[in-house]
Amino acid sequence: MEGSLVFGLFTALFAVGAAIVAGVKRIAHSIRDIFREQVVRTMDKTIDVVLGEIEGNREEIRNLNERVLELEAKSHRDGTLRISEQEELEYLRSERIGKMQKWGQSNVERLALVTSEVARESVLITPDKLHIADGYVGFASLNRKCKVCQRLLTLRRNTQEVRSLSSFFWGCPAFFENETLSHKYSEAFQMSDLSVFVDKSIEDWNVNDDELNAVVELGKRSVQKRVSQVVSHKIDQIICGTHAEPLVLKEKREPTGLLDQYFLRCARPSCEYKVKIASVGQLSTLLAETQGRGLL
Ligand SMILES: [Zn+2]
Ligand SMILES: [Zn+2]
């Protein structure tokens, strides 16, 4: 899907942002060079090879999840598992984290291979452009891991407080799990997270929060119309923090407004993992990702 090619950088974004910040201290490298440096060892691959690896990895994750869910259901039903089964479950869960990272790495490779065709640039997230950070809420980090369970952290925002740079944080997906597995681990959003690599041909990233909000306010109907076309679709680039499978876009029955109307959830029925679409930045991402064009 073209939208994914244009906008698929999300999982890798913050890792690349950090590299750009580091790169400033070196001799004048172009951003593209820094991006390519990240994956220089894999540049002998072709795009088809990388796409094949992504598909293969996704298939492995699906199979792995089938077995994990089987064991979890057995544990739930019988109240216990045999030692060998417990060990298998632990092993499969850690394998899944590895495959998730592999998926993120493959995405960087894929984007490095297509990046010469699109206008990617680094932008700085400033207090008047928080919609850019909003746009990545729900995305997994490539390199930040939970110190408790080793899973990749995902970007979240505290919706209880007034939106500012400090309301963003990296949280462990275990937050959404059942009581036995659940824990709260988080890390602050840092300076190195503020420089992100975006496709400047997506107009939304060039305007400030007020401008984007005003546009959405005026064109609510058309936004709803566009988003409704992808309700029930799997959104390839936003994966469940537990199952590592793409999330599905859902619509609420009685929303209080546009920013309460949609959410993403895991396709596995037993999973509680959810990402609310509660900002115009997320709507931008969703549309850019699925339709190749943001809100503007
Ligand atoms: Zn954790
Ligand atoms: Zn899930």
Tell me: pLDDT of 23 over 50: no
- Across 20-29, 106-115, 171-180, 246-255, the highest mean pLDDT is recorded for 246-255
Q: What is the pLDDT of residue 14?
A: 46
Structure tokens at 46: 């072709």
* 132 domain-assigned: no
Domain that holds residue 262: 204-291
Q: What is the pLDDT of residue 247?
A: 94
Q: Give 273-283 pLDDT, tens digit per residue.
A: 999 999 999 99
Ligand 2 midpoint to CA 269 (Å):
8
Alpha-carbon distances of 130 from 40, 179, 184, 204, rounded to whole Å: 32, 33, 24, 12
For the residues 47-56, what does the mean pLDDT come to? 89
**Per-residue confidence at 21, pLDDT binned at 50, 70, 90?**
very low
Whether this prediction's pTM lies above 0.85 is answered by no
* 278 domain-assigned: yes
Ligand 1 midpoint to CA 7 (Å):
27
**Per-residue confidence at 73, pLDDT binned at 50, 70, 90?**
very high
Tell me: pLDDT of 175 over 60: yes
* 252 domain-assigned: yes
* 125 domain-assigned: no
264 alpha carbon, closest ligand: 2
Ligand 1 midpoint to CA 148 (Å):
5
Count of structural domains within the chain: 1
Q: Give 258-271 pLDDT, tens digit per residue.
A: 999 999 999 999 89
Q: For residues 139 and 9, which has the higher predicted lDDT (pLDDT)?
A: 139
* 185 domain-assigned: no
For the residues 58-80, what does the mean pLDDT come to? 94
Q: What is the pLDDT of residue 152?
A: 84
Lowest average pLDDT, out of 31-35, 97-101, 217-221, 248-252, goes to: 31-35
Tell me: pLDDT of 237 over 80: no
Q: What is the pLDDT of residue 147?
A: 94
* 215 domain-assigned: yes
Q: What is the pLDDT of residue 125?
A: 83
Q: Give 87-145 pLDDT, tens digit per residue.
A: 999 999 999 988 988 887 787 777 666 655 455 666 778 889 999 899 889 888 777 88
Ligand 2 midpoint to CA 230 (Å):
20
Ligand 1 midpoint to CA 138 (Å):
15
177 alpha carbon, closest ligand: 2
Ligand 2 midpoint to CA 62 (Å):
11
Q: What is the pLDDT of residue 265?
A: 95
Q: What is the mean pLDDT of the chain?
A: 81
Ligand 2 midpoint to CA 205 (Å):
30
* 155 domain-assigned: no
Q: What is the pLDDT of residue 11?
A: 39
For the residues 7-30, what does the mean pLDDT come to? 40
Q: Which residue has the tokens 């499978």?
A: 245
Ligand 2 midpoint to CA 16 (Å):
26
Q: Do the Cβ atoms of 101 and 142 come closer than 8 Å?
A: yes
Tell me: pLDDT of 39 over 70: no
Q: What is the DSSP string of the chain?
A: -HHHHHHTTHHHHHHHHHHHHHHTTSS---HHHHHHHHTGGGTTS-HHHHHHHHHHHHHHHHHHHHHHHHHHHHHHHHS---HHHHHHHHHHHHHHHHHHHHHHHHHHHHHHHHGGGS-EEEEE--TT-HHHHHTTTTPEEEEEE-TTT-PEEEEEE-TTS---GGGEEEE-GGGGS-TTT----EEE--GGGSEEEEETTSGGGGS-HHHHHHHHHHTHHHHHHHHHTTTT-EEEEEE-TTT-SEEEEEE-SS-SSGGGSEEEE-SSTT---EEEE-SHHHHHHHHHHHHS----
Note residues around ion ligand 1 (Cβ under 5 angstroms).
146, 148-149, 172, 174, 185
* 86 domain-assigned: no
